[in-house]
Amino acid sequence: MLFNSIDFAIFLPVVFFLYWFVANKNLKLQNALIVAASYLFYGWWDWRFLSLILFSTIVDFSVGLALKNRENPLKRKLLLWTSVFVNLGFLGFFKYYNFFLENFVTAFRFFGHPVNPQGLNIVLPVGISFYTFQTLSYSIDVYKRKLEPTKNFIAFMAFVSFFPQLVAGPIERATHLLPQFYKKRIFEYDKAVDGLRQILWGLFKKIVIADNAAQIADEIFNHSAGYSGSTLVLGALFFAFQIYGDFSGYSDIAIGTSRLFGFDIMQNFNFPYFSRDIAEFWRRWHISLSTWFRDYLYIPLGGSRGNTLMKIRNTFIIFIVSGFWHGANWTFIIWGALNAVYFLPLLLLNKNRINTNTVAEGRYLPNLKEFFQMGFTFAFTVFAWIFFRAVSVEHALNYVSTVFSKSLFTVPYFTGIRHGLQTFVLIIIFIVTEWFGRNDRYAIEKTGLTWPGPLRRAMYYSIVIAIFLFMGKQQQFIYFQF
Res 50: pLDDT: 92
Whether cis (ω within 30° of 0) applies to the bond prior to 13 is: no
Could you read off the pLDDT of 358-413 as tens digits, one per residue? 999 989 999 999 999 999 999 999 999 999 999 999 999 999 999 999 999 999 99
3-state SS string for the chain: CCCCCHHHHHHHHHHHHHHHHHCCCCHHHHHHHHHHHHHHHHHHHHHHHHHHHHHHHHHHHHHHHHHHCCCCHHHHHHHHHHHHHHHHHHHHHHHHHHHHHHHHHHHHHHCCCCCCCCCCCCCCCCCHHHHHHHHHHHHHHHHCCCCCCCCCHHHHHHHHHCHHHCCCCCCCCHHHHHHHHCCCCCCCHHHHHHHHHHHHHHHHHHHHHHHHHHHHHHHHHHCHHHCCHHHHHHHHHHHHHHHHHHHHHHHHHHHHHHHHCCCCCCCCCCCHHHCCCHHHHHHHCCHHHHHHHHHHHHHHHCCCCCCHHHHHHHHHHHHHHHHHHHCCCHHHHHHHHHHHHHHHHHHHCCCCCCCCCCCCCCCCCCCHHHHHHHHHHHHHHHHHHHHHHCCCHHHHHHHHHHHCCHHHHCCCCCCCHHHHHHHHHHHHHHHHHHHHCCCCCCCCCCCCCCCCHHHHHHHHHHHHHHHHHHCCCCCCCHHHHC
Could you read off the pLDDT of 24-47 as tens digits, one per residue? 889 999 999 999 999 999 998 888
Res 87: pLDDT: 92
Res 305: pLDDT: 83
Check if 326 is active-site: yes
Residue 339's nearest CA partner among 375, 384, 373 is 384
Res 224: pLDDT: 95
Task: Divide the 482 residues of the chain into consecutive groups of 10 and give the mean pLDDT of each group.
Answer: 86 96 92 96 88 94 92 92 93 79 65 64 80 93 94 96 90 94 93 95 96 96 95 97 95 96 95 97 96 93 86 94 90 96 94 93 94 97 97 96 95 92 96 96 91 90 94 78 66
Active-site hit among 223, 326, 395, 419: 326
pTM (two decimals): 0.93
Domain ranges of the chain: 6-187, 191-276+355-481
Res 4: pLDDT: 83
